[in-house]
Chains A and B, each alone.
Chain A
């Protein structure tokens, strides 16, 4: 495409049904304590895949 460079396409809407294992940490716990940011967290399932290849 001439006008677009796609930087990320996680297809969030397509994976909605298979979500919610609950293994990730609460978003407030790491540093903020006064806001709520989830977008900077990593999905624990994807970490597992990355670390184990499974």
Chain B
């Protein structure tokens, strides 16, 4: 399978099975798209077709899929989203976690439950050395003492059992004072700072409990954190909705503030929500990704403005192996979420949905986990998803987010279409950027 596409006047062919990317010209594009060739000289067309045949012979165009027998993913756990707090000091209009409560009671993780969660992760990680924990919420800094003590405990246990923990904290920054920034900078391998971009965009959706815009409450905290972070991993991470379809401006705004590791995600909401991105919005979204790609290339020429955009990062030559590309995030098998009461779910998106409850860290030793659900997740891959079979982007999203598929279509093997469309557009932009920076 191949995908021939253009980014304005630049033409490319991506070979899906070999992963090869070629820059080409309009004539080749027209040949591969079966377009009218009458405007071209017949000899030139024959020469171009000979080059196509040569690339095919070399296995770099329309290559065959490998003979590969899909084994079910192992159920060893290697990463955990730990819900430190089911409460939040902000009231964001699109929050999937229902203001941090996940449709349940407001609740703080206890140190006892946190320790059980760390023990569970270590005990179920088999031969995996590096274990990842994302301190998540609600707002995790509302339960900072437990977060800190959990880090200490996990490190002690890891040292005894030959494991290494890598920690992430995701925060809205309202409580991110200097002392906490210094702590997170020291202990966290990655810190995700939530901001939607321009003050007016952010404040229209990310509000305090009494309805004020949140921007002024966190921005200086984020700037301080950036100033001490050096080249260690962090992201400023936003969400765009139908209220800011000009989201490239928000990305550039965050860059102008001095941030250089930026992510902005499309909101995931049902069509009847006032902030939802609908199929009819996609042409505008696509145009915006193109604008962002052009600005991105330009800024990356300037060392003062250089930045990395999460969805434009593309590792064509040193990216994940074939197997990784088949099964994606590993939710329910190698990645799980733990709620403050110790309940275990396939990922953070399922927390509170009892039909996906896998067990509880307090009773797992005695009762085990619901492996029927885990096997369903572990078996899902691009091979079990009919829509992925003829999709040229399948090895880059590995079938998309299973939670989105279930929440929109009631079936983890039926991907959420709007996300697929945006993924393909971002990937075309990424390939264009890759070509410009590597040719």
Contacts and interface: CB of A to CB of B under 8 A. Distances in A.
Interface of A: 1-43, 45-47, 50
B25 interface: yes
B269 to A, nearest CB: 10
Interface residues of B, number: 89
A17 B70 CA distance: 10
Contacts of A21: 321
Contacts of B228: none
B434 A1 contact: no
B22 A38 contact: no
B438 A42 contact: no
Contacts of B157: none
B180 to A, nearest CB: 20
B28 interface: yes
Interface in B328-387: 328-331, 334-335, 347-349
Interface stretch (B140-148, B213-221, B311-319): B311-319
Contacts of A17: 66, 68
B20 A28 contact: no
Interface stretch (B48-56, B196-204, B251-259): B48-56
B397 A7 contact: no
12 contacts: A6-B20, A8-B316, A10-B317, A13-B63, A22-B78, A26-B335, A35-B266, A36-B402, A38-B324, A38-B325, A39-B320, A39-B395
Contact of B265 (A3, A34, A41, A42): A34
Interface of B: 13, 17-25, 27-28, 47-48, 51, 54-55, 59-60, 63-66, 68, 74, 76, 78-79, 81, 96, 128-130, 132, 134, 166, 168, 170, 190, 192, 233, 235, 237, 239, 263, 265-266, 268, 310-311, 313-325, 328-331, 334-335, 347-349, 395-402, 404, 419, 423, 427, 430, 434-435, 438-439
B322 to A, nearest CB: 4
B334 A8 contact: no
A28 B321 contact: no
Contact of B132 (A29, A36, A37, A42): A29
Shortest Cβ-Cβ A-B pairs, 7 listed: A19-B321, A39-B396, A20-B323, A8-B316, A16-B66, A16-B322, A12-B19
A20 to B, nearest CB: 4
B58 to A, nearest CB: 9
A45 B130 CA distance: 14
A36 B328 contact: yes
A26 B330 contact: yes
A12 B329 contact: no
A34 B63 CA distance: 32
A7 to B, nearest CB: 5
Nearest to B31: A3
Given A17-B66, A22-B78, A37-B397, A4 B320 contact: no
Given A12-B18, A36-B329, A36-B401, A43 B321 contact: yes
A28 B401 contact: yes
Contacts of A19: 321-324
B268 A34 contact: yes
Contacts of A30: 168, 190, 192, 233, 235, 310
B311 A43 contact: no
B170 to A, nearest CB: 7
Contacts of A8: 19-21, 316-317, 434, 438
B263 A32 contact: yes
Nearest to B237: A31
A26 B311 contact: no
A21 to B, nearest CB: 8
B51 A20 contact: no
B116 to A, nearest CB: 21
B335 A7 contact: no
Contacts of A24: 320, 324
B59 to A, nearest CB: 7
